[in-house]
Amino acid sequence: MPDELLTNPRADRVKAVRALAARTARRRAGTFLVEGPQAVREAVAHGGPRVHDVYTTAEAAQRYPEIVDAARAVGARVRTGTTEVLDAMSPDAQGLVAVADQVHAVLADVLTAGPRLVAVLAHVRDPGNAGTVLRAADAAGADAVVLTASSVDVHNPKAVRSTAGSLFHLPVVSGPELPEVVAALRRAGLQVLAADGGGAHDLDDLLDAAGGAPAGVPDLAAPTAWVFGNEAWGLRDEDLALADAAVRVPLRGRAESLNLATAAAVCLYASGRAQR
């Protein structure tokens, strides 16, 4: 017998899903909201049993039967609602939302696996930027992403949407302080490079020297953790002092600077290229 159609946008179940847009509700429930077909597809494909509930309109279920089938295959409850119900759950639903357990990796476990490329976000407050950096890290082949205690909650709906599903593709560590992260990365054999517009080293020069960098010059072919700072002020002096070196992305035109996500993508792809 099919589940009863959800028709009341003011029902308690609908309100509980919508409440996950707020950090306090997410913390209390231990779950978060996954919005839209792409993100839900990746959640059920790579999140497995972490996905508890999938809500869909009848139209979306017909359009994306593979997502519905995959959700049922991992044990998620699939419920059908009207367009009004899905819109009440999320204005970005596009006919599909899911509720899943929060994604929490442990730094020690990540480092035990021997990563060669890690992105660290320090004081990154904008959820769209955080999600886009995570997506870039995934695309560049990074092994993990770390968000320090002062950074945005990666389960913020805008951050989740901005990852375009990459949140479910690689380990994401949240919560440790930057000095703790840097010390652990260094013990695991990674060099720590700070991305900074005033850095002493030019990224292009490091690429040219990769695999044979002279003493005192960072070798991009080596296991590397990149530290990216706040959108407005970058990295503080005390944060820069933690790194082995500060590296600048060369600006060939008249642009004053690059935004955080673009700079992160350039740095991560440079390391990925050098390591290959």
Q: Each residue of 133-186: pLDDT tens digit?
A: 999 999 999 999 999 999 999 999 999 999 999 999 999 999 999 999 999 999
**Among the three residues 77, 101, 125, which one is the final residue of a domain in this structure?**
101
Q: How many domains does the chain have?
A: 2
Task: Identify the domain containing residue 46 by its residue range.
Answer: 12-101
83 plus 50 within the same structural domain: yes
**Among the three residues 101, 116, 142, which one is the final residue of a domain in this structure?**
101
CB 167 within 8 A of CB 194: no
Residue 2 confidence (pLDDT): 53
Q: Is residue 83 part of a domain?
A: yes
88 plus 197 within the same structural domain: no
The average confidence (pLDDT) of the chain is 95
CATH code, 218: 3.40.1280.10
The C-alpha atoms of residue 52 and residue 61 are separated, in whole angstroms, by 17
Considering the entire predicted model, what is its pTM? 0.93
The C-alpha atoms of residue 141 and residue 131 are separated, in whole angstroms, by 16
**Burial class for 183, CB neighbours closer than 10 Å (0-12, 13-18, 19+):** middle
Residue 4 has pLDDT above 80, yes or no: no
- Give the dihedral sign, CA 12/13/16/20: negative
- Region 89-112: mean pLDDT is 95
Tell me: the pLDDT tens digits for 39-57? Answer: 999 999 998 889 999 999 9
Q: Is 143 helix (H, G, I), strand (E, B) or coil?
A: coil
Q: Please report which residue ranges of the chain form alpha helices under DSSP H.
A: 12-19, 23-29, 37-42, 58-63, 65-73, 83-89, 107-112, 127-140, 157-163, 178-187, 203-209, 237-240, 260-275
CB 245 within 8 A of CB 213: no
55 plus 177 within the same structural domain: no
The answer for residues whose C-beta is within 8 angstroms of residue 115's C-beta and 6 or more apart is 142, 143, 144, 188, 190, 223
A 10 A CB-CB count for 95 gives 21
- Region 235-260: mean pLDDT is 93
**Among the three residues 83, 101, 119, which one is the final residue of a domain in this structure?**
101
69 plus 156 within the same structural domain: no
| Axis-axis angle for helices 260-275, 127-140 (nearest 10) | 10
Share of the chain above pLDDT 70, in %: 99
184 plus 133 within the same structural domain: yes
The C-alpha atoms of residue 50 and residue 103 are separated, in whole angstroms, by 9
